[in-house]
Amino acid sequence: MINLLEADFSFGVFNTFEKVSCPNAEKFLFALYDGNAIESVLMRHDYGNALCISTQVGCNMGCAFCNSGRRNSLPDSAEASPAKIRDLLPYEMVLQILRAEEAFRVKPKISRVTLMGIGEPLDNFENVKDFIDIIHHRHGLDIAPRHITVSTCGTVRLDELHRSSYNIAISLHAPNNELRGQIMPCNAAFGLDKIIEFARRYSERQKKKITFEYVMLENMNDSDNHARELAELIKGLYCYVNLIPYNETKLGFKRPNPERISSFYSILIQSGVRAVVRKEFGGEIKAACGQLCAERNIKNHDRIENC
Active-site positions?
Answer: 39, 289
57 makes contact with ligand SF4 (CB under 6 A):
no
**Nearer to ligand SF4 among residue 174 and residue 231 (C-beta):** 174
Distance CA 101, CA 81 (A): 34
Name the segment binding ligand SF4 (CB under 6 A); options: 4-12, 29-37, 59-67, 239-247. Answer: 59-67
Min CB(184)–ligand SF4 separation in Å: 7
Closest CA to 61 of 107, 126, 17, 124: 124
251 makes contact with ligand SF4 (CB under 6 A):
no
Question: Residue 225: enclosing H or E segment and its boundaries?
Answer: helix 224-233
Distance CA 199, CA 159 (A): 10
20 makes contact with ligand SF4 (CB under 6 A):
no
**Residues in Cβ contact with 281 at an 8 Å cutoff, skipping those fewer than 6 apart:** 24, 25, 41, 43, 287
Name the segment binding ligand SF4 (CB under 6 A); options: 103-111, 117-125, 130-138, 243-251. Answer: 117-125
Min CB(255)–ligand SF4 separation in Å: 16
* Residues 116 and 151 sit within 8 Å (Cβ to Cβ): yes
**Nearer to ligand SF4 among residue 51 and residue 231 (C-beta):** 51
93 makes contact with ligand SF4 (CB under 6 A):
no
**Nearer to ligand SF4 among residue 66 and residue 196 (C-beta):** 66
**Residues in Cβ contact with 96 at an 8 Å cutoff, skipping those fewer than 6 apart:** 28, 30, 38, 40, 51, 53, 54
**Residues in Cβ contact with 55 at an 8 Å cutoff, skipping those fewer than 6 apart:** 87, 88, 93, 115, 117, 118, 119, 120, 121, 124, 127, 128, 131
118 makes contact with ligand SF4 (CB under 6 A):
yes
Burial of residue 259 (CB within 10 Å: 0-12, 13-18, 19+) is: exposed
Min CB(113)–ligand SF4 separation in Å: 16
Among 38, 51, 52, 59, interactor with ligand SF4 by CB under 6 A: 59
Name the segment binding ligand SF4 (CB under 6 A); options: 56-64, 130-138, 234-242, 273-281. Answer: 56-64
68 makes contact with ligand SF4 (CB under 6 A):
yes
289 makes contact with ligand SF4 (CB under 6 A):
yes
Distance CA 238, CA 271 (A): 14
**Nearer to ligand SF4 among residue 118 and residue 196 (C-beta):** 118
Burial of residue 5 (CB within 10 Å: 0-12, 13-18, 19+) is: exposed
Q: Nearest 5°: phi and psi at 291?
A: -70, -40
Distance CA 214, CA 300 (A): 29
128 makes contact with ligand SF4 (CB under 6 A):
no
69 makes contact with ligand SF4 (CB under 6 A):
yes
153 makes contact with ligand SF4 (CB under 6 A):
yes
**Nearer to ligand SF4 among residue 68 and residue 221 (C-beta):** 68
Binding site for ligand SF4 (CB under 6 A): 59, 61-63, 66, 68-69, 118-120, 153, 289
